[in-house]
Chain A
Amino acid sequence: MNRRGFLRLIGATGVAALTASCSRINSAAGTLSSPSNLIRFPEKTEMIFLTDRPPQLETPIHYFRQDLTPNEAFFVRWHLEGIPTSVDLRTFRLNVSGHVRQPLQLSVDELRSKFDPISIVAVNQCSGNSRSFFHPRVPGGQWKHGACGNAKWTGVSMKSILDRAQVKAGAVDVSFNGLDVPPLPSIADFVKALSIDHARDGEVLIAYAMNDQPLPMVNGFPLRLVVPGWYGTYWVKAVSDITVLPQPFSNFWTDKAYRIPSAPNGTESPQNLATDTVPINKFNVRSIFVRPDSDEILHPGMPTEIEGVAFDAGYGIRRVEVSTDGGTTWADARLDPEIGKYSWRRWRASWTPRNRGQYRLMARATNAVGETQSKEQWNRAGFMWNVIQQVDVKVG
């Protein structure tokens, strides 16, 4: 290689790579740049590193080429510094109390042996998935599209647990608390609630297995609430205390946090903030590109498989359309068979780019009740992103 070639190579890749791998803190300028590094946590593979304490870890998109997201790659999001790092199954109990005739203290073994197991394949998605794509930018976990995953959850239906506890007449809500604890007494413990009817719908689970394995500790070992079709904030991890309430549940994490504008799709504008808000609830409909990556080089005349996943709150994905010209024309993608109503559904489209140049790929999913994706969307919390995704690729 001649000197010019060497310099070009170093200039293009070497320095960029070195700079990227360097500390994100540039003391000389006293500034920070944005990170995209990876980290490995116990029982996890290398994941996109948002924060370490408490951990927030994002799934690299290539794992979405699999129908079920591996446990070791499943996204992680905790709220409070005091997360459980040790659980003794001999003493751990799931306590069911409150407005019931028969309070329960159940070990994980009892849940496995004294109840009928049920399994469901369901997407779990963080309320703030894709937050980093909102403009203007909003504070919070700066997720790209990997704060979601699809897994087979196995456990006991909440209905069967509540039936065994004999819920008294007049129950309104059921609250769920986990083993995590706040670092200051002034910070509210992370507790979430569902209505009694929702908790008893037969689909809400207390899961002791994820993809047929115990859950990783940072994904909620030993038990996790599974609320199919609802945002991850309700999927309480390391759940240990279930309380049936004769009045509506109220706490910071429901009354003040995790609220969305009551307008359709939770939208508002920075100039005109919503005054009427409701707790976040069901997923809206969205799709995510899995391939090609924007840094993949495609070639003219070479068939290219475009692929992604789409999901909603459980009505079912009926159509995914793909555009390769920035939204001017659209064609139907092929849908893989449905795995389950709460699972994501894979879509594929074959495309042979004819000419060199830049192409803008887009995908738009529509569900069985006619809901489709947003053209634009904003809210102050950065929740429920479902704008039609654009991926710019180079054909050369």
Chain B
Amino acid sequence: MTPKPKAVVLALGLAALVAGCGHSSHITKEADHGTADLRMESMIDSKTDNPVHTIVMPHDEPEFPPGPGRDEFVTACVVCHSPRYITMQPRFPRAAWLSEVKKMQDTYGAHISDEQALQIADYLFSINGKAGSGKAPKGTYGE
């Protein structure tokens, strides 16, 4: 009787987790950070002796899981804002997600049909939803 098999399984499990991370956006982010840092220092210098002040914005946007409505989401929403506007939210009931999508359509003029709005709401609910009938209050959140 030896504990080794369990330890091996555990080690493999951890390796799998690490490997899983390798496919995430975090690896790219590290690379981006390095570039951004170098650029940043040159920009700070330029602020004092160069009248043109320029920065380069980092982009760090997550991949979204496949599923019905994903294409509509990526096409219609990511034009104007990072998908992190979704990933930073807590889980909301479907009605709350639909209300957010309708706000984008009606208030901000997102180029989507009513049918696409429903597909996008279903997709957002599938990746970041929670059960419940809690309807989001009507009104503009503004922020």
Decide yes or no whether A264 CB sits under 8 A from chain B. no
Decide yes or no whether A214 CB sits under 8 A from chain B. yes
Q: Which residues of B contact A27 (CB under 8 A)?
A: 65-66
Interface size on A, residues (CB 8 A): 77
CB B105 to nearest CB in A, in angstroms, measures: 10
Q: Are A81 and B81 touching (Cβ within 8 A)?
A: yes
A217/B55 contact (C-beta < 8 A), A15-B17, A22-B20, A139-B136 known = yes
Q: Which residues of A contact B143 (CB under 8 A)?
A: 79, 126-128, 140-141, 233, 257-258, 381-383
Complex-state Cα separation, A18 to B26, whole angstroms: 12
A142/B58 contact (C-beta < 8 A), A23-B23, A42-B36, A90-B51 known = no
Q: Are A42 and B57 touching (Cβ within 8 A)?
A: yes
Q: Are B54 and A86 touching (Cβ within 8 A)?
A: yes
Q: Which residues of B contact A3 (CB under 8 A)?
A: 3, 7
Complex-state Cα separation, A32 to B92, whole angstroms: 12
Interface size on B, residues (CB 8 A): 69
Complex-state Cα separation, A221 to B48, whole angstroms: 13
Decide yes or no whether A136 CB sits under 8 A from chain B. yes
A137/B90 contact (C-beta < 8 A), A3-B3, A52-B84, A127-B143 known = yes
Interface of B is mostly: loop
A35/B87 contact (C-beta < 8 A), A19-B17, A184-B108, A259-B140 known = yes
CB A18 to nearest CB in B, in angstroms, measures: 5
Q: Are A85 and B55 touching (Cβ within 8 A)?
A: yes
Decide yes or no whether A89 CB sits under 8 A from chain B. yes
Q: Are A382 and B88 touching (Cβ within 8 A)?
A: no
Q: Are A42 and B65 touching (Cβ within 8 A)?
A: no
Decide yes or no whether B89 CB sits under 8 A from chain A. yes
A184/B80 contact (C-beta < 8 A), A18-B14, A35-B88 known = yes
A23/B24 contact (C-beta < 8 A), A51-B84, A214-B47 known = yes
Complex-state Cα separation, A21 to B30, whole angstroms: 12
Q: Are B40 and A43 touching (Cβ within 8 A)?
A: yes
Q: Which residues of A contact B65 (CB under 8 A)?
A: 25-27, 30
Decide yes or no whether A357 CB sits under 8 A from chain B. no
Which B residue's beta carbon lies closest to that of A108? B51
Decide yes or no whether A270 CB sits under 8 A from chain B. yes
A217/B88 contact (C-beta < 8 A), A22-B24, A52-B82 known = no
Which B residue's beta carbon lies closest to that of A137? B90
Q: Are A140 and B81 touching (Cβ within 8 A)?
A: no
Q: Are A40 and B37 touching (Cβ within 8 A)?
A: yes
Q: Which residues of B contact A329 (CB under 8 A)?
A: none
Q: Which residues of A contact B111 (CB under 8 A)?
A: 184
Decide yes or no whether A331 CB sits under 8 A from chain B. no
A187/B108 contact (C-beta < 8 A), A88-B51, A270-B137 known = yes
Decide yes or no whether A328 CB sits under 8 A from chain B. no
Instruction: Give residues of chain A (30-60) contacting chain B, Cβ–Cβ below 8 Å.
Output: 30-32, 34-35, 37, 39-44, 49-55
Q: Are A86 and B20 touching (Cβ within 8 A)?
A: no
Q: Which residues of A contact B43 (CB under 8 A)?
A: 42-43
Q: Are B14 and A10 touching (Cβ within 8 A)?
A: yes
Q: Are A15 and B14 touching (Cβ within 8 A)?
A: yes
CB B84 to nearest CB in A, in angstroms, measures: 4
Q: Are A53 and B57 touching (Cβ within 8 A)?
A: yes
Instruction: Give residues of chain A (204-246) contacting chain B, Cβ–Cβ below 8 Å.
Output: 214, 217-218, 221-222, 233
Q: Are B81 and A54 touching (Cβ within 8 A)?
A: yes
Contact of B139 among A87, A183, A273, A383 (CB under 8 A): A273
Decide yes or no whether A300 CB sits under 8 A from chain B. no
Complex-state Cα separation, A35 to B24, whole angstroms: 13
Q: Are B80 and A183 touching (Cβ within 8 A)?
A: yes
Q: Are B53 and A187 touching (Cβ within 8 A)?
A: no
Q: Which residues of A contact B89 (CB under 8 A)?
A: 139, 142
Top 8 A-B residue pairs of the complex, sorted by shortest distance between their CB atoms: A186-B109, A257-B142, A23-B24, A42-B55, A53-B82, A86-B54, A51-B84, A89-B51
On A, residues with C-beta under 8 Å from B are 3, 6-7, 10, 14-15, 18-19, 21-27, 30-32, 34-35, 37, 39-44, 49-55, 79, 81, 83, 85-90, 126-128, 132, 136-142, 183-187, 214, 217-218, 221-222, 233, 252-253, 256-259, 270, 273, 380-383
Known: A19-B17, A42-B58. 14 other contacts (CB 8 A): A3-B3, A10-B14, A31-B128, A52-B58, A53-B59, A85-B57, A88-B52, A88-B53, A137-B90, A137-B92, A142-B89, A186-B109, A187-B80, A256-B107
22 A-B pairs with C-beta separation under 8 A? A18-B18, A19-B17, A22-B24, A34-B88, A37-B26, A42-B56, A43-B44, A49-B84, A50-B88, A53-B82, A85-B55, A85-B57, A86-B53, A87-B53, A89-B53, A90-B51, A142-B88, A184-B109, A187-B80, A258-B143, A273-B137, A381-B143
